Amino acid sequence: MSKVSEGLTHSAPSLVGRAGGESLGGESLGGESLRGESLGKKSRGRVPFPSPFWAFVQKEARHILRDRRTMLILFGMPVVLMLLFGFAITNDVKNVRTVIVTSRLTPQTQAALQRLAASEYFTIVATVPTPQEAEQLIRRQKADLYLTPYPKGQGSGWHITVDGADPNMAQQWATYAQAIIGRSGLTSNSPLVLTPSLKLLYNPQMRSAYNFVPAIMGMLLMLVCAMMTSISIVREKERGTMEVLLVSPVRPLMVIVAKAIPYLVLAFAVLIIILLMGHYVLAVPLAGSLVWIVLVSVIYILLALSLGLLISNIAQTQLVALLLSAMVLLLPVVMLSGMLFPIESMPRVLQWISAIMPPRYYIEAMRKLMIMGVGIQAVLREVLVLCAMTVVLLTVALVKFKVRLD
């Protein structure tokens, strides 16, 4: 037994030593391979400085692309708004429901009726013998206007009675009806009438899409750049990851720039979508230089990004950022930028407030470049105002950002 135990004790160290040697050898080989891999990584890691910066850009881009709701807002909203303002929400005069009072008809008035019925603006829905019956049709919302011929002895002509519940549209209906009836009332036997000649420049068909497409560009680019950028930065602050990003090897300013670049690219994509839909779907011309349209849009996008950065410095939660963006951006853009209502018709106080609204100048510049086809000299004032606003907003945003870091 003692010999057996001694044999085991003598053989065990050799086995252990052999096994240990293999394991140590494996460790040494593994260590060399790991050391080689680490050296290889270090050698491969020696890349120019922008690598961490572009890593932040890719991180933000992937975060945006993963969020389906954000992508739906960014690319669904332009398409929906273009279709709505192009086909549904329009001020174009079409299919105005018209009633004719047939108490007295002459060859001249019949010619006027035929021309009115042949136009695309008016649809004759009924003929009644008395004006009282025509007015009842308007009261029951079955007609928009009615025409009554002049009484006997007062010549050949029409009284036009319009539903004035919507004064803007009522004025347009009356103007269109007067133009059509006035042209058709002249015959070879009519006395000489000096009728002024009317010519509409840039928009002869008076299509509202010519007005709305530049306005939608101003509204959407502001919302995409300013609102989305501010919410993105505030989201990092809410989750507590902003401080982690700020202590990374990349400078804090580069972190903010990296978060803004994906929205800059998305704004260009939105701009291209609007221009393509406006030109090919809504038949809005691009009469001016496409280069100047893009360059002015770049200035406006940078202004919107600066405003988004400023909002993110003020707001501490995403809800506050959203409310600030809605109050500062959405309502003023729609109400005070000239998108829906002419600025000249506003009270003096509101005109002063609209003077500090960036979309006002961008929309004016786009209307001149796209619709009128003018050169950059004609929009130099708007471009200089946008540049000055960009510098001011970016300076204030960066100053507040540095104060927050301190």
DSSP 100-131: EE-SS--HHHHHHHHHHHHSSSEEEEEEESSH
The residues of the chain scoring below 70 in pLDDT are 1-50, 88-92, 106, 108-109, 153-157, 182-200, 242-243, 245-246, 248, 250, 402-406
DSSP 294-336: HHHHHHHHHHHHHHHHHHHHH-SSHHHHHHHHIIIIIHHHHHH
pLDDT at position 299 is: 95
Cβ neighbours for 214, distance < 8 A, ≥ 6 positions apart: 363, 366, 367, 370, 371
Percent of the chain with pLDDT over 70: 76
Identify the helix (H) or strand (E) that includes residue 63: helix 50-66
DSSP 336-403: HSSSSS-GGGS-HHHHHHHTT-HHHHHHHHHIIIIII---GGGGHHHHHHHHHHHHHHHHHHHHHHHH
pLDDT at position 29 is: 37
Q: What is the pLDDT of residues 126-170, one digit of tens each?
A: 888 888 888 889 888 888 888 888 777 666 667 888 888 777 778
Q: In order of start, what are the domains of the chain with their CATH numbers?
A: 70-88+206-405 (no CATH), 96-184 (3.40.1710.10)
Would you give the distance in Å from CA 74 to the centre of its chain? Answer: 9
pLDDT at position 19 is: 41
- How much helix, strand and coil, in percent to the nearest 5, is found in the chain? 70, 5, 25
pLDDT at position 14 is: 42
Distance CA 22, CA 322 (A): 65
Identify the helix (H) or strand (E) that includes residue 160: strand 158-162
pTM for the model stands at 0.71
Enter the DSSP assignment of 92: -
Cβ neighbours for 92, distance < 8 A, ≥ 6 positions apart: 206, 207, 208
pLDDT at position 60 is: 81
Distance CA 277, CA 284 (A): 9
Enter the DSSP assignment of 146: E
Q: What is the pLDDT of residues 208-225, one digit of tens each?
A: 788 888 888 888 888 888
Strands of the 145-149 sheet, one edge to the other: 122-128, 96-101, 145-149, 158-162
Q: Pairing between strand 96-101 and 145-149?
A: parallel
Q: What is the pLDDT of residues 13-44, one digit of tens each?
A: 443 444 444 443 443 434 444 444 444 444 44
Percent of the chain with pLDDT over 90: 13
pLDDT at position 22 is: 41
